[in-house]
Amino acid sequence: MFKLIRRNLLRNKRRTILTVLSIAIALILLSFLDLLLAAMSGVNSANANRLVVRHAISLTFSMPAAYEQRLAALEHVEGITIMNWFQGRYIDDRPENFFPRFGTDPDTFPDVFPELALSPGEIDAWRAERTAFIAGRALAEEKGWDIGDVITIEGDIYPVDVELTLRGIFTHTTDEAAERVLYFDWQYVEEALGNPGQINSFYVLLDSPDNMNETIAKAEAMFENSPDQVRAETEAAFFLSFIEMMGNVQFLFSAIGLAVIASIFFITVNTMAMASRERTTEVAVLRTLGFTRSRVLAIVLFESLAVGVLGAAIGLAVMPVVTGAISSVLATQGITFSELRLGERTSALVMGIGVFLGLAAGLVPALQAMNMKIVDGLRRVA
């Protein structure tokens, strides 16, 4: 039976190859959208023990710095640090000179972000000097920075130009995008602005993810009657809400994905229907030779399944090359994403869609072939 399926697939090589490639290209696009959404949301690099507390209205609103002590007093809280988006301008406005720049508290930051590895000496040097900063290894290598180098970032959101000295280079074991960030002591800006005491967000480290929902509820209730109410959420949810400021990206990507699947489904259905019609007489002959209706059904279904699975396999094989090339192009424009790599979840999704396309597209032609009367098929002999 499998020899017959192989011969049927190779009967019209051009059509089979084009269909397989169409499925592969469609699934590459679909998997890339899935990877891109996960990377933009930062879900892969989020810490399950961390939650983020921000202003309830919007990320653009700030909260009193005094909230930190009250949040730190909550049960299950093991650490808390501040995080302010500074932005600014490094050298000029070209995309390749853009990278995230955050103001934080060197005294509490290392405890809340233990996955960012710094030596004890680097931590002490950062804490000892108000104008010190730390940077990720990838960012330092890209900019050619060494310990002791001095850089200047011109303020735009805040009317302060900061002159910073590199005192530490941190690493992250799995997330290169996390190494393309700069952190400095926010007190530097606070003093220059006259100590306004306003914070964009608080990052809170809990003792266990099991206590996340309870702590979120207590944090929000604590400031329910305050002028600056807060919204507490997991770090992964915070990243998603950040990108949703650009619109409902998740819905957009899902709509594009469904459109791609629908298009390739109809292409595959049309291919299998054409192939089935061309073999009407052959199917009738197989029935006269003793092939059962269920065996005819299996032959057509397996042929369609082979097309779908082969397309998915090619897509998975090519995907690492595609993501690598696109990541390299984006990096030249100063755009980096975490975890833009093919993982088990995306691989399973792509292969599952390939199997679904193969079986669904071949179902109708297979049923037609199975239910066809032998005499009707033999009448079509030229």
Residue 273 covered by a domain: yes
Same domain, 297 and 221: no
The dihedral built from the CA positions of residue 102, 108, 110 and 111, taken in this order, carries a sign that is negative
Query: According to the model, what pLDDT value does residue 335 have?
Result: 52
Q: Quick one: which of 228, 230, 167 has its CA closest to 204?
A: 230
Query: Helix, strand, or coil here: 105?
Result: coil
Residue 55 covered by a domain: no
| Identity at 59, one-letter amino acid code | L
Same domain, 10 and 78: no
Residue 146 covered by a domain: yes
**Strand ranges (E), 10-85:** 50-55, 63-64, 77-85
Query: Helix, strand, or coil here: 146?
Result: coil
Query: According to the model, what pLDDT value does residue 333 have?
Result: 47
CA 237 from centroid of its chain's CA atoms = 13
Same domain, 253 and 217: no
Distance between first and last Cα of the chain? 26
Query: According to the model, what pLDDT value does residue 161 have?
Result: 94
Task: Provide the domain limits for residue 265.
Answer: 2-42+248-378
Residue 238 covered by a domain: no
Residue 305 covered by a domain: yes
Q: Quick one: which of 320, 318, 297, 316 has its CA closest to 308?
A: 316
Query: According to the model, what pLDDT value does residue 372 have?
Result: 66
Same domain, 163 and 203: yes
Query: According to the model, what pLDDT value does residue 373 have?
Result: 65
**Do you know the residue count of the chain?**
382
Distance CA 265, CA 204 (A): 46
Same domain, 258 and 346: yes
Q: Where does a domain end: 195, 227, 259?
A: 227
Distance CA 376, CA 382 (A): 13
Distance CA 264, CA 267 (A): 5
The dihedral built from the CA positions of residue 205, 206, 210 and 215, taken in this order, carries a sign that is negative
Residue 239 covered by a domain: no
Residue 56 covered by a domain: no
Same domain, 339 and 252: yes
Q: What is the pLDDT along the chain (382 residues), one digit of tens a residue?
A: 666 666 666 667 888 888 889 889 888 888 888 777 666 655 555 577 899 999 998 888 999 999 999 999 999 999 999 999 998 999 988 888 888 899 999 999 999 999 899 999 999 999 999 999 999 998 999 999 999 999 999 998 999 999 999 999 999 877 777 888 999 999 999 999 988 899 999 999 999 989 999 999 999 999 998 999 999 998 877 877 666 655 566 677 778 888 888 888 888 888 777 766 666 666 666 666 667 777 777 777 888 888 889 999 998 888 888 877 776 665 554 455 555 666 777 788 889 988 988 888 878 777 776 666 665 555 655 4
Distance CA 294, CA 300 (A): 10
Same domain, 116 and 219: yes
Same domain, 256 and 297: yes
233: which strand partners? 52
Same domain, 127 and 66: yes
Give the number of other Cβ atoms within 10 Å of residue 336's Cβ: 21
Same domain, 112 and 216: yes
153: which strand partners? 90, 162
How many domains is the chain built from? 2
Residue 214 covered by a domain: yes
| pTM of the predicted protein model | 0.66
Query: According to the model, what pLDDT value does residue 334 have?
Result: 47
